[in-house]
Amino acid sequence: MTTVTAQIPADWPATEERARAVQDGLRARVVLDEPGPPPGTGTVTGVDVAYDDARDVVAAAAVTLDAATLAVVAEATAVGRISFPYVPGLLAFREIPTVLAALDALPCPPGLVVCDGYGRAHPRRFGLASHLGVLTGLPTIGVAKNPFTFAYEDPDAPRGSTSPLLDGAEEVGRALRTRAAVKPVFVSVGHRVGLENACAHTLALAPAFRLPETTRRADALCRAALRAAAYPA
């Protein structure tokens, strides 16, 4: 497995005002009219991050799986300084440089990228999955553990049941039951993938657990990388 050091770009936003302006500019480039790759084909990559704010360190992991078998094809991690303060709605600016470094360190194309977080299900309709997709051009989706600030009705109990994730009357994602009678996950489109396909991918990636294998594996890997990080306090 490869571990690299992430660098914060020289032009990275340093203020909330600048970050929101960047969000506004990039959001216009999100592609919402492509279905995305069929589930069970090619590769799929999970990305996740972990922080140690006391040491000003963030670690990211990218884990590529064979979409048909869910076997691990490649893994990479990156460690760097935290690139932006904690501001709700702007969390991608804390994560993107290190996530990009981990993706770049993979020895193979990532295919579909699954983020532990949000895409369109974001107050400004531009969460990490959308941000990452626009910057890389890759198809991306967000699979979150909670509904953020959005409303939903509990899906029916059987695996595969869904209900709309709503901001008022607008559907920004779906609550998806990946295991029968277990709390749902919350799926949203990032870039170059349709919502129905995003849900189908999530189900295919979660044959035995609530969370997709991409998220489970990337979460464990980034936490291990953070523990091993040599940055001092």
pTM above threshold 0.85: yes
Q: Is the pLDDT of residue 232 over 60?
A: no
Q: Is the pLDDT of residue 35 over 80?
A: yes
pLDDT single digits (tens) 163-187? 999 999 999 999 999 999 999 999 9
Query: Which residues have a Cβ under 8 Å from the Cβ of 230 and sit 6 or more positions away?
Result: none
For residue 14, tell me if it sits in a domain.
no
Q: How many CB atoms lie within 10 A of CB 139?
A: 27
**Residue 214 domain boundaries:** 2-6+29-228
For residue 219, tell me if it sits in a domain.
yes
pLDDT single digits (tens) 113-162? 999 999 999 999 999 999 999 999 999 999 999 999 999 999 999 999 99
Number of structural domains in the chain = 1
What token pair was written down for 148? 């953020």
Residue spans of alpha helices (H) in 57-146: 92-104, 128-136
CATH no. for residue 189?
Answer: 3.30.2170.10
48 among the known binding-site residues? yes
For residue 108, tell me if it sits in a domain.
yes
For residue 172, tell me if it sits in a domain.
yes
Q: How many CB atoms lie within 10 A of CB 217?
A: 20
For residue 18, tell me if it sits in a domain.
no
Q: What is the reported pLDDT for 146?
A: 96
Query: Which residues have a Cβ under 8 Å from the Cβ of 115 and sit 6 or more positions away?
Result: 47, 48, 127, 128, 129, 132, 140, 141, 142, 143, 190
For residue 61, tell me if it sits in a domain.
yes
Q: What is the reported pLDDT for 1?
A: 75
Confidence of residue 230 (pLDDT cuts 50, 70, 90): confident
For residue 45, tell me if it sits in a domain.
yes
If you average pLDDT over residues 14-34, what whole number do you get?
96
Q: What is the reported pLDDT for 183?
A: 97
Q: What is the reported pLDDT for 231?
A: 63
Please give the C-alpha separations between residue 4 and each of 60, 71, 78, 105, 117, in angstroms, as whole numbers: 10, 23, 5, 7, 23
For residue 13, tell me if it sits in a domain.
no
Q: Is the pLDDT of residue 2 over 90?
A: no
33 among the known binding-site residues? no
Q: Is the pLDDT of residue 8 over 80?
A: yes
pLDDT single digits (tens) 36-88? 999 999 999 999 999 998 899 999 999 999 999 999 999 999 999 999 999 99
Confidence of residue 20 (pLDDT cuts 50, 70, 90): very high
How are beta strands 43-52 and 57-66 bridged, if at all?
antiparallel
Q: Is the pLDDT of residue 229 over 90?
A: no
Task: Give the whole-number percent of the chain exceeding pLDDT 70.
Answer: 99
If you average pLDDT over residues 208-217, what whole number do you get?
96
Q: Is the pLDDT of residue 233 over 60?
A: no
